[in-house]
Chain A
Amino acid sequence: MNKASILIIDDEAQIRKLLTITLESYDYNVQAAITAKEGLAAVASHPPDLVLLDLGLPDESGHAVLRHLREWYSNPIIILSVQSMEEDIVKALDSGATDYLVKPFRTGELMARIRLALRKVFQDENNHLGDFGDLIIDYSARVVKKNNVVIKLTATEYTLLALMCKNEGKVLTHHYVLCQVWGPSYQNESQYLRVFVAQLRKKIETDPNRPVHIITESGVGYRFVGK
């Protein structure tokens, strides 16, 4: 397999340098762009396997870049944002960002997110079996097993879990989950989501209070983690 290529779009020289050194040491092919214009041009000429996009660019907002890119570019885009402005993050995720990281972030966290995002690209989509350690989900038979014991889920619980499993590692915003599971008219009825996530955790987590699979992303949504 060729080295995966990553394009960094960030106007801060220090961040570009840090990311370049880090990513190259993990054996990625790295390019960097300073402005939105440069970034868009770079993606167009040599589409990378993944884009790291800073939201605060000098010439155009990262949101605009994201929208432009998503018109034709389907590889993962990970957002880097300065403050934990939840609204900004939700907006970016809802307009097609794959994941986000809030600066400052730990290198380990960054590498984990990149690996996860890239794995989806290189992965076969038609897998009917999801293996998440103690949890196994059979999409064709609609059966979920925990430690090899079948667990009983209601129809909604199953739909919710299957949606999360198929997006393993990815943050799903509250709106997105509500739309997918309950339908667009429920997208503001977040109380359903809270109740069902709590129920689901009781069934699939070893300790529902310390979940290892369904992780809360404060103010943004949920992330399903395999293990």
Chain B
Amino acid sequence: MNSIYKLSKKNQYLVSVLAILTITGLSLTIEGLVGYRVIAFLLLVSVSVLAMFLDIIPVIVAAALSALLWDLLFIPPRFTFAVGTTEDRFLLLMYFIIALIHAVLTYKIREVQKEVRKREDKANAIRFYNTLLNSLSHELRTPITTIIGATDNLMNANKLSDGDKTELLSEISIASMRLNQQVENLLSMSRLESGVFKIKKDWCDVRELIYTTLQRFEPTLSNYRVSVFIPENLPLFKLDFGLMEQVLHNLVSNAIQHTEAGTDIIVKADCTDEKLVMTLSDSGKGFPVAEINRVFDKFYRLQGSRPGGTGLGLSIAKGFVEAHNGKITLTNLPLRGAMFTIEIPTEISYLNHLKNE
């Protein structure tokens, strides 16, 4: 329905005229069987159907055209615009009026529906922004409050011991980093949703990608048992290095957020069916089955999860993977922990097998 609805004005007229001409043509072949009055109903039905899809003017055109054609081709005396009997004159008039009423009523109903849909969209948007604002105001205000409070304290420094000062400064530093991370996420999200977002693919060494990302988590990550499995002969893949780095970054960050230090984090990469397949598994509690489909939703956060996230990391990861025409899935592992799987179909190059120049 939508595709027809979006037809240009010109095409709408074309559709309405062609439909009436086609029905009239068909009617000519069955006129002998059913009589010319039944044809009127047939044409009326066609006009009603058109009214469901087209704007009001093309429908009125269809109504007028079908009335004229019915008069010209079917009402005796045929092939003239003259109408023989008073009864038929009445019928023709009624036909035209009913066709018009159909056109107008259907149009009005559609307008009302449009209005309702608009209102629903608006309500959804408001609900969405409320969630956003709640989550954001909390996640942004916490570090800002810390920074303002700590600087106020430092300005009255004569009451503070050196140890307190150092602690306050380190709180400011942590809060600023957290604030920066939130802003970074928001920027990525708005980049994704702006529509002007484009990806820049180039040959990537996935080993380099994975280790570069992991290195950014030092020293936090050295508290985990991290294992990386990458086959020696892994080809090069065409990817947007920066985006994929952020995808991995968000997955690792999610794993750190939800699991205890000392547990396993396993990263694997391989080339399967000409696709890059990367997995990241942790050995935390896994995700509640009921929530597993929602973890990629914007601003979605697990019930009772630790503070610190915006609920944006995983949906950004999903957005960036999908920008590569890939997909990302989450499964719980049989014993414990969860595993994210990224599959990206892309160009590959085995140039790295041709050694050496």
A interface residues (Cβ-Cβ under 8 A, vs B): 83-84, 86-87, 104, 154-157, 174, 190-192, 194-195, 197-199, 209-210, 216, 218-219
Contacts and interface: CB of A to CB of B under 8 A. Distances in A.
Task: Please give me the 5 A-B residue pairs with the lowest Cβ-Cβ distance, nearest first.
Answer: A219-B242, A191-B203, A194-B205, A195-B352, A209-B211
A155 B208 contact: no
Nearest to A193: B203
Contact of B208 (A86, A154, A174, A216): A216
Contacts of A104: 176, 180
A120 B344 CA distance: 43
B241 A218 contact: yes
23 contacts: A84-B242, A154-B357, A174-B202, A190-B202, A191-B203, A191-B349, A191-B351, A192-B351, A194-B203, A194-B204, A194-B236, A195-B205, A197-B205, A198-B207, A199-B356, A209-B207, A209-B228, A216-B212, A218-B212, A218-B242, A219-B200, A219-B241, A219-B242
Interface residues of B, number: 25
B157 interface: no
Contact of B242 (A86, A157, A190, A198): A86
B236 to A, nearest CB: 5
Contacts of B180: 104
Contacts of B112: none
Contacts of A154: 356-357
Nearest to B354: A195
A216 B242 CA distance: 11
Interface in B305-357: 349, 351-352, 355-357
Say what secondary structure dominates the interface of chain A.
Answer: helix
B215 interface: yes
Interface in B171-229: 176, 180, 187, 200, 202-205, 207-208, 211-212, 215, 228
Contact of B245 (A87, A198, A218): A218
Contacts of A194: 203-205, 208, 236, 352
Contacts of A197: 205, 208
Given A191-B351, A192-B351, A198 B203 contact: no
A156 B354 CA distance: 14
Contacts of A190: 202-203
A75 to B, nearest CB: 30
A216 B215 CA distance: 11
A86 B241 CA distance: 10
Contacts of B176: 104
A218 B198 CA distance: 17
A208 to B, nearest CB: 9
Contacts of B355: 199
Nearest to A194: B205
Nearest to B177: A104
Nearest to A190: B203
Contact of A191 (B211, B236, B245): B236
Contacts of A195: 205, 236, 351-352
A151 to B, nearest CB: 14
A178 B128 CA distance: 48
Nearest to A207: B211
Given A157-B356, A209-B211, A209-B228, 8 more contacts: A190-B202, A191-B236, A194-B352, A195-B205, A198-B208, A210-B211, A216-B212, A219-B241
Nearest to B198: A87
Interface string B232-274: 0000100011100100000000000000000000000000000
Nearest to A201: B208
A157 B356 CA distance: 9
A118 B236 CA distance: 37
Contacts of B241: 218-219
Contacts of B207: 198, 209
Interface-centre pick from B180, B200, B212, B355 (highest chain A CB count, 10 A):
B212
Interface-centre pick from B208, B212, B240 (highest chain A CB count, 10 A):
B208
A155 B357 contact: yes
Contacts of B242: 84, 86, 218-219
A208 B247 CA distance: 23
Given A156-B357, A218-B242, A219-B241, A87 B205 contact: no
B145 to A, nearest CB: 19
A192 B242 CA distance: 19
Interface-centre pick from B200, B351, B356 (highest chain A CB count, 10 A):
B356
Interface-centre pick from A84, A87, A218 (highest chain B CB count, 10 A):
A218
A46 to B, nearest CB: 34
A83 B176 CA distance: 16
A29 B176 CA distance: 29
A195 B353 CA distance: 9
Nearest to A219: B242
Contacts of A219: 200, 240-242
Nearest to A84: B242
A43 to B, nearest CB: 31
